[in-house]
Amino acid sequence: MGEGLASGLTYAIERKFAENLWSLYNSFAEDPIFQIDANLGYSAANALVQAPDTASLSDALTITLLPALPSAWGSGSM
């Protein structure tokens, strides 16, 4: 799962951003794309932290850290 995430994020960043990291989306297009933070940020956030829904607020919540860590992100600290 992590390698697919890294591949998808790399693909999006390489093709949707200029070298200065400005978005290449055309906001004046007939059907403009918006919310790039949500598009890329959600995927990255899911790779770092997952907390599945529970049936009720009284149920225990299990939070999983780094559930889909790509090997390219293998070093670092928390």
CB 9 within 8 A of CB 43: yes
The predicted model scores a pTM of 0.43
Domain boundaries along the sequence of the chain: 2-69
The pLDDT, as a whole number, for residue 26 is 65
Q: How far is CA 31 from CA 27, 36, 64, 69, in A?
A: 8, 14, 37, 34
| pLDDT tens digit at each of 78 positions of the chain | 567 777 777 777 777 777 766 766 666 677 666 566 656 676 777 778 888 777 788 888 888 888 887 788 777 776
